[in-house]
Structure 1
Amino acid sequence: MCGINGFVDLQNDLSETRAGILSSKLKKMNQLTAHRGPDSDGFFFKDKVGFAFNRLSIIDLSSNADQPMANEALGLAIIFNGEIYNYLELKVELQNKGYTFQNESDTEVILLAYKEYGEFCVHHFNGMWAFAIYDFRTKKIFCSRDRFGVKPFYYAVSVGVMFFSSELKAIHSACGLNKANFGKVYEYLAYGYRVNDGETFFEDCSELLPGTNLIIESAQIETHRYWQLGENHTKHDLKVSYEEAYLALFEDAVKIRFRSDVSVAIMLSGGLDSTAIAKVADRLIESGCLHDNILHAYTASFPDFEDDETALVREFVATCDHIKLHEMRIEKEELVLDFEKSLAELDQPLGSFASIAHNKIMKLCKKEGIKVVLNGQGSDEAFAGYIQYIAGVFLVSKLFKGPVEFWKEYMALRRINGYSNIFLISQMFKAVLNQSTASYLRAKYREKTLDILNPEFVKKNKTHFKQFYKFSFGADSFNKYLLHQINYQGINTILQYEDSSSMNQSIEIRSPFMDYRLMEFAFSIPVEMKFSKGITKKIQRDTIGKDLPSSISRNRKKIGFRTPFLIYLEDNDDFKKLIFSILDRDSFKSRKIWDALAIKEKFANVKENKEFPFWRIINLEIWAKAYGINNL
């Protein structure tokens, strides 16, 4: 896990003066991403290509694995951010083909796999990655991003040069970006999320889509999608049960994510996902499959909140033999310390205040000397965990199974989950609307966001919303909705802020549930094994859940990091003063996209406007000011 930066000059003429300017820009980019890899850095310049690297040493801690890594005999050089979890198996495969290795890193495995398989090498990888390879002989640059976009890859073309980086702040520096992408800003303010379509909040700056390769040849840039999650991606082996297949995949996904030359820890909440990972890890240690005798687990304690899960975590750890718990107590006041600085560091406006909590937790982990942590990200998206968002789509899909099946599911949601008739009916109505229509209605009538936006700004940008998801009537509509959330929406935003906040503290996050084999499996099994009779993530509860405390395995409540922005705004005087000082800034009041006075009135009456998107407005303003955005 590291930071990568680079440039490719697309012009024919490379004078010494131009080369010097590009070299200086690249060095500045690398300085801006130094937090991603404090262990070493390096540079590579050849022809019209420049690579720079910040190393966080995880596998093969020796200098032999430093990057950029060049193999003169093969005529190849690489910079790589991420981890290839199956690198040991690939290494043996390549050795059997006659390749020899100079170090023990997964980076060299990628380089030689590219030599052997060309662009198809990515199909052999199980991991998370963003890398660039330069072929000296063909003058071709090959870049790739992992299947789900766990690792970032941003790029922009300026004055005939393509710059790329792990972070937007580096692209911002190299290209002098100071204009916002109006469509993305509208999407964020009005709808509360950012569709994963390759655009960023900066005008003229893109991100390489997940599962996509980028190739530069003869000064032409082309992108090709090599993978995307779909329905029935793999056929289930009927020789074993679904439950057995799930357990085997899950245990292997956890096991290979412990491949590291530094200790691996885990972030624990009182939820099903992280405790399932920890339970499997505990078993692996017991059976001698992992090198460490103890797994260090870290949990964040929020004593000021009624939903604090510390008691559940302690109960779980008591059932394990090889887990040592470390509790990190976070007071309400601590979360607002360096509030503005923390947001500015995260490159883009974010969806919720949870990003601040995550950032704080990563800082505490860094103080503990942690370099690698596991978490439970991805399970909710693949195995239907967000019940309040999926209930409507699920019920509509059940209409196609007949009235009896529909009524059973409807009543289960009423009885087990406590949802009212009004809520369920409204969610079913919302489910059949086009996503853009449903989002517009929420912004107009529930949140009343459109009341404070400049009508001209709304008129020009409301059509920007890209309609990736359109409800299709049928029994398979539920799975299609879940696929949409993974391929185009929710998970991408979460992965982006997790990478930013963890790498700001030089920490690598590994997520077993993001293993592509497990994701493909999730969309090859019957829907009822994910969600049935009000029970979410059913296959998980029916397998590893049996070995967890019932207070966890039977808990239907989805919490996550609940750190309500509005509570702070109402109860914390210092935080309130900070927020109103932002609203009083000339930069905020001069923005052409909104009515600053109307917004301030909303902030002054929080209790009467609880649905108003206070967080998104403040977040956007802090981002715009930090990056010198001058067109909003």
Structure 2
Amino acid sequence: MCGFVAFVGCEGFRPSSPVISNMLSVISHRGPDDEGTYFSDHVAFGFRRLSILDVTPAGKQPMHSHEGNCTIVFNGEIYNYLELRKELSARGHRFVSDGDTEILLHAYLEWGDECVGRLNGMWAFLIHDRARQRIFGARDRFGMKPLYICEVPEGVLFASEIKSIRASGQYREALDMQVCARFFYESRLDDTQATFYKGIRSIPAACCFEVNTQGRVRTWAYWQLPVNNRVPADPAATFAELFDQSVEIHMRSDVPLGVNLSGGLDSTAILCAIARHRTEQDVSMPIKAFSFQSAEYDESRYIAATLAQTGAQQHILSLGPHELWDSLSRVLWHQDEPVHSITAVVGFHLSALAARHGVKVILNGQGADETLAGYPSYFRDYWYSLLASGSVATALKEINAFVLAHGGSQSRLFAQLIKHCIQTQLGRSARYRKMARRRHLHQFEQNDWFDPQLAHALPETTDFEHAMLDAVLARAVQKDPLPLYLRVEDRNAMAHSVETRLPFLDPRLVKLAFCLPEKWKMRGSWNKFILREAQRDKIPEIVRSRPDKMGFPTPFSRWLRVELYQFVRDIIEDTTFSQAGPFRVESIRRDLERHRNGEIDISGKLFDVIQFHLWQQLDPMTPPKTPASLYG
């Protein structure tokens, strides 16, 4: 896990050392252990190293091939590097390091562009192939590791974080108003390659690309989510075996690792699997588990059961609303763009907690909800799939089982489902979508929080979105919300020089998940049914059979009425608030008071407006200071 930058000049332009130095200076947190640069004619690479595998100088980057034709910068981890090393050695390759960077470089030398299909891991990398006179690069299948690109008159800029491109001196600052409008009106973040900065975009996940000597960029997909594959005879047993294998290779590290532990199914499964593997390896040192707990959302009994089974050593994050709010600007500086909620700030401090306890690698449960159907909204999608396939009786039976466990009215849920079916079928018509979009745009123009001109930046048309469960899950993985959560996860961890690993996004597990019938994801009152069955007798039963879901929630709505009210009010009253954004202060002030009085709940909407204002004030070259009171 590291960070890198690159400048590929065109039309004879040669990048200078000061440009690369400026770009590197703002991502030193991504790699505090070493720095390296590479200059060759029109190509310049810069690298910051966080040593995880092979912490010796042999793993230094940029790394060159033995014959000197290829140079690589690589951010991420190749978990199956030992298996690839064995295969490459049998083909005559010789290695001087024990890490995965050299394995990746030799994989490219052996298999060319096809090397990425053999990798199991998370990655973003660039290779300067002097023999073929090109830059070749790729991102992992799900976009766990970031990579941004910006084409400027002098060439093409690449960076692990947006702030490096902004610090280059080559980029002309400009907001992408369509991205801003989609954020304010539709709460959209990271569901396209566009960023809040016009002209800066992310390289798509599961894609390779090349840049030729003229600076032309060509991108192509090397992988896609599988469909219609053969279902194993015993799906639960197969999933359990693959999951254990995934956790085992995600544990490969030359530095201490830990787990972010909530009381939920995903992090519990990871921690229990680690404990089993460590028992087999006769490792007695307890695993470190990091948790955030609030009185309003008490998960202590679930966590206690997991700690008792694994013997893990828990470290609890205890920060109140004032401390979290005081660090919001610093979180936004590291994130480069707005975030989805105050929960992102909790994640930032969990990474800080891990770093303070000497942990450089954290295993986390990200990706399970999107691939295995973990969100409550997926129940409706499952019922819709049953109804659309003609299984009306089964849909009613499943709704009844849900009501018995979670409460509610079967008739009301079924009526809502019928309405959803009708709306989905109408949505197949381009004419209907256009009419609905016009109606929504008119409603957006009437929103008195914003200048009506902002709504004009929104796209006038929308694509049809399939509502079958598997299609919804595919959209969740590829567009919304997983790309956003991966961005937040990466920046929060790397802000503290910590690497996050995500066992549920092992491609073998994801392939199996998308091969399974929907009944293995949702069944009766249960979401993530396959995971629950796979973890039978492996995790505490109180967690395995838990029907609700929390994660790391905060009572932000109440905080906004009480503890944080004056902080927010002061920001709104500041003259820069109305001057810097498309906001109508009187309307926002009015609704803040209504929220304070309990008449309405605008906590999410107001958080978006306030964080956008704070984010706009940030200087990419200078991170805000962390209040000394936070960490004593």
TM-score normalized by structure 1? 0.91
The C-alpha deviation readout for 1:548-602, integer Å capped at 9, x for no partner, is: 2232111111111211332221121xx3332223222333212463323212222
User: Percent of aligned pairs with the same residue?
Assistant: 28
Shift of 1:187: 1.2
Residue 545 of structure 2 is aligned to residue 554 of structure 1: yes
Please give the alpha-carbon distance, in whole angstroms, between the structure 1 residues aligned to 2:565 and 2:318.
23
Residue 358 of structure 2 is aligned to residue 369 of structure 1: yes
- Residue in structure 2 matched with residue 7 of structure 1 by the alignment: 7
Residue 134 of structure 2 is aligned to residue 140 of structure 1: yes
The C-alpha deviation readout for 1:157-186, integer Å capped at 9, x for no partner, is: 123221111101111122344211111111
- Residue in structure 2 matched with residue 308 of structure 1 by the alignment: 298
Please give the alpha-carbon distance, in whole angstroms, between the structure 1 residues aligned to 2:46 and 2:364.
29
Contact persistence 2:260–2:350 (CA under 8 A): no
Contact persistence 1:148–1:210 (CA under 8 A): yes
The one-letter amino acid of 2:253's match is S
Aligned pairs for 1:286-435 (under 5 A) are 286-288=279-281, 292-303=283-294, 305-320=295-310, 322-387=311-376, 389-399=377-387, 400-420=389-409, 421-422=411-412, 425-426=415-416, 429-430=419-420, 432-433=423-424, 434=427
SS in 1 for 2:149: strand
Residue 173 of structure 2 is aligned to residue 178 of structure 1: yes
Cα–Cα, structure 1 residues 393 and 213, in superposed 2: closer, same or farther, change >3 Å?
same
Shift of 1:139: 1.8
The one-letter amino acid of 2:191's match is N
Of residues 259-268 and 615-624 in structure 1, the stretch that sits farther from structure 2 once superposed is 615-624
Residue 214 of structure 2 is aligned to residue 214 of structure 1: no
Residue 460 of structure 2 is aligned to residue 470 of structure 1: no
Shift of 1:71: 2.1
Shift of 1:225: 1.1
Please give the alpha-carbon distance, in whole angstroms, between the structure 2 residues aligned to 1:98 and 1:204.
44
- Residue in structure 2 matched with residue 459 of structure 1 by the alignment: 456
Please give the alpha-carbon distance, in whole angstroms, between the structure 2 residues aligned to 1:556 and 1:449.
40
Please give the alpha-carbon distance, in whole angstroms, between the structure 1 residues aligned to 2:244 and 2:445.
46
Cα–Cα, structure 1 residues 422 and 171, in superposed 2: closer, same or farther, change >3 Å?
farther
Cα–Cα, structure 1 residues 556 and 177, in superposed 2: closer, same or farther, change >3 Å?
farther
- Residue in structure 2 matched with residue 99 of structure 1 by the alignment: 93
Please give the alpha-carbon distance, in whole angstroms, between the structure 2 residues aligned to 1:367 and 1:157.
39
Residue 262 of structure 2 is aligned to residue 269 of structure 1: yes
Shift of 1:32: 0.3
The C-alpha deviation readout for 1:238-257, integer Å capped at 9, x for no partner, is: 4xx11121111100000000
- Residue in structure 2 matched with residue 151 of structure 1 by the alignment: 145
Please give the alpha-carbon distance, in whole angstroms, between the structure 2 residues aligned to 1:160 and 1:147.
30
- Residue in structure 1 matched with residue 605 of structure 2 by the alignment: 613
Contact persistence 1:39–1:57 (CA under 8 A): yes
The one-letter amino acid of 2:451's match is N
The C-alpha deviation readout for 1:96-147, integer Å capped at 9, x for no partner, is: 0000001111000010000111111000000000000001222210011000
Cα–Cα, structure 1 residues 13 and 188, in superposed 2: closer, same or farther, change >3 Å?
closer
Of residues 489-498 and 135-144 in structure 1, the stretch that sits farther from structure 2 once superposed is 135-144
Shift of 1:266: 1.0
Shift of 1:462: 4.1
- Cα-Cα RMSD: 2.4
The one-letter amino acid of 2:303's match is V
Please give the alpha-carbon distance, in whole angstroms, between the structure 1 residues aligned to 2:565 and 2:470.
43
Shift of 1:460: 3.4
Contact persistence 1:29–1:170 (CA under 8 A): yes
SS in 1 for 2:39: strand
The C-alpha deviation readout for 1:478-510, integer Å capped at 9, x for no partner, is: 111111111111011000011011100100000
The one-letter amino acid of 2:382's match is F
Residue 222 of structure 2 is aligned to residue 250 of structure 1: no
Residue 26 of structure 2 is aligned to residue 32 of structure 1: yes
Equivalent pairs, count = 605
Cα–Cα, structure 1 residues 52 and 58, in superposed 2: closer, same or farther, change >3 Å?
same
Shift of 1:466: 5.4
Aligned pairs for 1:462-501 (under 5 A) are 462-463=459-460, 467=463, 470-471=465-466, 477-501=468-492
Please give the alpha-carbon distance, in whole angstroms, between the structure 2 residues aligned to 1:449 and 1:279.
52
Please give the alpha-carbon distance, in whole angstroms, between the structure 2 residues aligned to 1:449 and 1:378.
37
Shift of 1:277: 1.1
The C-alpha deviation readout for 1:267-318, integer Å capped at 9, x for no partner, is: 1111011111111111112222xx7433423232434x32132332112211
Contact persistence 1:276–1:545 (CA under 8 A): no
The one-letter amino acid of 1:155's match is I
- Of 213, 222, 225, 1:226 maps to 222
- Residue in structure 1 matched with residue 84 of structure 2 by the alignment: 90
The one-letter amino acid of 2:369's match is D
Cα–Cα, structure 1 residues 65 and 466, in superposed 2: closer, same or farther, change >3 Å?
farther
The one-letter amino acid of 2:195's match is T
SS in 2 for 1:341: helix
Residue 199 of structure 2 is aligned to residue 204 of structure 1: yes
Shift of 1:440: 9.2
The one-letter amino acid of 2:153's match is V
Residue 511 of structure 2 is aligned to residue 520 of structure 1: yes
The C-alpha deviation readout for 1:85-106, integer Å capped at 9, x for no partner, is: 0000001100000000011110
Of residues 583-592 and 504-513 in structure 1, the stretch that sits farther from structure 2 once superposed is 583-592
The one-letter amino acid of 1:255's match is E
Which residues of structure 2 form unaligned runs of 5+?
621-632
Please give the alpha-carbon distance, in whole angstroms, between the structure 1 residues aligned to 2:162 and 2:288.
31
Please give the alpha-carbon distance, in whole angstroms, between the structure 1 residues aligned to 2:618 and 2:472.
36
- Residue in structure 2 matched with residue 284 of structure 1 by the alignment: 277
Cα–Cα, structure 1 residues 63 and 439, in superposed 2: closer, same or farther, change >3 Å?
farther
Shift of 1:623: 1.7
Please give the alpha-carbon distance, in whole angstroms, between the structure 1 residues aligned to 2:470 and 2:244.
24
Please give the alpha-carbon distance, in whole angstroms, between the structure 2 residues aligned to 1:500 and 1:374.
15
Shift of 1:395: 1.5
Shift of 1:30: 0.6
Contact persistence 2:445–2:455 (CA under 8 A): no
Residue 103 of structure 2 is aligned to residue 115 of structure 1: no
Please give the alpha-carbon distance, in whole angstroms, between the structure 2 residues aligned to 1:442 and 1:376.
36
The one-letter amino acid of 1:327's match is I
Aligned pairs for 1:159-174 (under 5 A) are 159-174=153-168
- Of 529, 543, 557, 1:566 maps to 557
SS in 2 for 1:133: strand
Which residues of structure 1 form unaligned runs of 5+?
none
- Residue in structure 1 matched with residue 618 of structure 2 by the alignment: 626
Please give the alpha-carbon distance, in whole angstroms, between the structure 1 residues aligned to 2:187 and 2:283.
42
- Residue in structure 2 matched with residue 192 of structure 1 by the alignment: 187
Please give the alpha-carbon distance, in whole angstroms, between the structure 1 residues aligned to 2:548 and 2:200.
39
Please give the alpha-carbon distance, in whole angstroms, between the structure 1 residues aligned to 2:130 and 2:418.
57
